[in-house]
Amino acid sequence: MTPLRIVLGYVAVAMVWILVTDRLVELLALSPSSRGTAHAIKAAIYVVGTAALLYLLVRSQHVEQRVRDEALRTVLDSMPDAVLVVDRDSRVVDVNRAAVELLGARDREELLLPIRELVQRIHLRHADGRRLDLGRAAVRRVVAGQRVTGYEALIRRFDARELFISISSSPVRPHPTLPTRLAVAVVRDISEVRLFEEMREDFLATAAHEFKTPLAVVKAYAQLMHKRGQGDATALEVIARQIDRMTRMVQQLLDVSRFRVGGAELSRERFDLPGLVAEVAGVVRPDADGRRIFIAPAPPTAVLADRERIGQVVASLLENAVRFSPRGGDVEAEITRRDTEAVVSVRDHGLGIPHERQARVFERFYRAHAGTDQDYGGLGIGLDVSREIVARHGGRIWFESAPGEGSTFSFSLPLAPEEA
């Protein structure tokens, strides 16, 4: 029944009631005083009747609303993922059953806290165990009503069990009939996924580790033969160079697993960045197949960083520049200063990166040219590791690329304190 029909039905019934009862009073031909009483009774019945009608209507509305609420609650509680609703005052105002179970709480009410308190209560930390800076963390973005997708973190449940979780959140659209809600967050237990990932990383680390002993044996024997003047000197040199290349790849595999699993410690030392770039270029040149690597003259620029790791980043960028310049062409490196940062840029005149693939370049195992006619090999981890290393130093890494014209990859590092 539409509201209009109900109203029209009510009007019809009321009219009939008025007409019929008026007529009845007339027909009874009562005295004027008793006629007044009859009209009063008639009006009273009318009021009671409509009041009863109103009551039924309101009650059915109420029941309907409650059924709807319950249905919604049942759906929410049947969800396999934990749901938390946060209001404008950054308070958790609603949670579903999965949330109570996931966090190991006794009941729903235990979780209805200001988000800051809840975060402290569950010891929310970065996935690698580092303390979370609430001012900068994803929680703040959740509270600010921004969209967050798959943010991974470590928590301690109410029953002290450690758990890996993934948090996604989005703002709740304003709705006139709803109280002001800010955000709804979905939390997922990814401990098993993490466990599997860790097993894979462990395997990677073990495999890489196991490769090193045979590499050591081959390298040492090649050196021994070289020393004793046995065998073809050129052949032995190539063997030595290829062993070094393989060692670098094995090192990369180890780095991937190491950074992923829990953060390698960085050693910090003060060194000259242009000096390091020149040194690394010297190592890469023999493999550059005739392509020239130029370094633009730069004044001494000191940074406080892990020299070996930063060298690895520079090597990755230079090797990529060489690899993706199949038709030759020079590679140019440049070290500049911008405010309190030093920026290293490596420019090539090679293939460039197709526009549709640019967004994924820093992803692990992603190789922008894989599966095309122009596959130049590589493991697809150099840039992933580089990004991790640079980020841990508080720097950034980025690129500009024009397909067919070449790419420029750059990274920044904070200058050593007294330089900035």
Rounded to the nearest whole angstrom, what is the least distance from the CB of residue 201 to another protein in the complex?
12
**CB of 259 or CB of 324, closer to another protein:** 259
Strand partners, 414: 341
Rounded to the nearest whole angstrom, what is the least distance from the CB of residue 385 to another protein in the complex?
12
CA terminus-to-terminus distance, the chain: 75
Sequence letter at residue 351: L
Q: Are 18 and 45 in contact (CB under 8 A)?
A: no
Task: Using DSSP, state whether 147 is helix, strand or coil.
Answer: coil
User: Taking phi first (over 0 means left), then psi (-120 to 50 degrees means alpha), and beta for anything else, what does residue 290 get?
Assistant: left
Rounded to the nearest whole angstrom, what is the least distance from the CB of residue 108 to another protein in the complex?
47
Kindly state whether residue 224 participates in binding another protein, applying the rule CB under 8 A: yes
Rounded to the nearest whole angstrom, what is the least distance from the CB of residue 403 to another protein in the complex?
36
Kindly state whether residue 215 participates in binding another protein, applying the rule CB under 8 A: yes
Rounded to the nearest whole angstrom, what is the least distance from the CB of residue 309 to another protein in the complex?
11
**CB of 121 or CB of 248, closer to another protein:** 248
User: What is the distance between the alpha carbons of residues 193 and 27, in angstroms, rounded to a whole number?
Assistant: 86
Strand partners, 409: 346, 399
Kindly state whether residue 251 participates in binding another protein, applying the rule CB under 8 A: yes
For another protein, which stretch binds (CB under 8 A), given 54-62, 137-145, 210-218, 328-336? 210-218
Rounded to the nearest whole angstrom, what is the least distance from the CB of residue 247 to another protein in the complex?
6
Kindly state whether residue 212 participates in binding another protein, applying the rule CB under 8 A: yes
For another protein, which stretch binds (CB under 8 A), given 13-21, 203-211, 345-353, 391-399? 203-211
Rounded to the nearest whole angstrom, what is the least distance from the CB of residue 217 to another protein in the complex?
5
In the list 86, 118, 186, 254, the residue contacting another protein (rule: CB under 8 A) is 254
Kindly state whether residue 223 participates in binding another protein, applying the rule CB under 8 A: yes
**CB of 76 or CB of 218, closer to another protein:** 218
Q: Which helix (H) or strand (E) holds 211?
A: helix 191-227
In the list 58, 75, 216, 420, the residue contacting another protein (rule: CB under 8 A) is 216
**# chain residues binding another protein, by CB under 8 A:** 24
Q: Other CB atoms closer than 10 Å to residue 277's CB: what's the count? A: 26
**CB of 190 or CB of 254, closer to another protein:** 254
C-alpha distances out from residue 287 to 245, 263, 280, Å: 9, 31, 12
Kindly state whether residue 217 participates in binding another protein, applying the rule CB under 8 A: yes
Rounded to the nearest whole angstrom, what is the least distance from the CB of residue 219 to another protein in the complex?
4
For another protein, the binding residues in 255-284 under the rule CB under 8 A are 255, 258, 264-265
Q: Are 121 and 104 in contact (CB under 8 A)?
A: no
Q: Which two tokens stand for residue 40?
A: 């009063």
Strand partners, 91: 114
Rounded to the nearest whole angstrom, what is the least distance from the CB of residue 250 to another protein in the complex?
9
Task: Using DSSP, state whether 340 is helix, strand or coil.
Answer: coil
Over 290-312, what HEC string results?
CCCEEECCCCCCEEEECHHHHHH
Task: Using DSSP, state whether 403 is helix, strand or coil.
Answer: coil
Q: Other CB atoms closer than 10 Å to residue 215's CB: what's the count? A: 15
Q: Are 361 and 368 in contact (CB under 8 A)?
A: yes
Rounded to the nearest whole angstrom, what is the least distance from the CB of residue 306 to another protein in the complex?
12
Kindly state whether residue 221 participates in binding another protein, applying the rule CB under 8 A: yes
Dihedral of CA atoms 420, 410, 243, 324 in degrees, nearest 10, equals -160
Kindly state whether residue 243 participates in binding another protein, applying the rule CB under 8 A: yes
- Strand locations in 238-328 (E): 269-272, 293-295, 302-305
Strand partners, 183: 86, 171
Q: Which helix (H) or strand (E) holds 56?
A: helix 32-78
Rounded to the nearest whole angstrom, what is the least distance from the CB of residue 96 to another protein in the complex?
44
**CB of 23 or CB of 245, closer to another protein:** 245
Q: What's the burial of 282, exposed, middle or buried (CB within 10 Å: 0-12/13-18/19+)?
A: exposed
**CB of 108 or CB of 226, closer to another protein:** 226
For another protein, which stretch binds (CB under 8 A), given 118-126, 207-215, 330-338, 381-389? 207-215
For another protein, which stretch binds (CB under 8 A), given 9-17, 84-92, 184-192, 251-259? 251-259
**CB of 65 or CB of 267, closer to another protein:** 267
Q: Which of 237, 247, 238, 241 is nearest to 216 (CA)?
A: 247
For another protein, the binding residues in 56-85 under the rule CB under 8 A are none
Residues that bind another protein (CB under 8 A): 205, 208-210, 212-213, 215-221, 223-224, 227, 243, 247, 251, 254-255, 258, 264-265
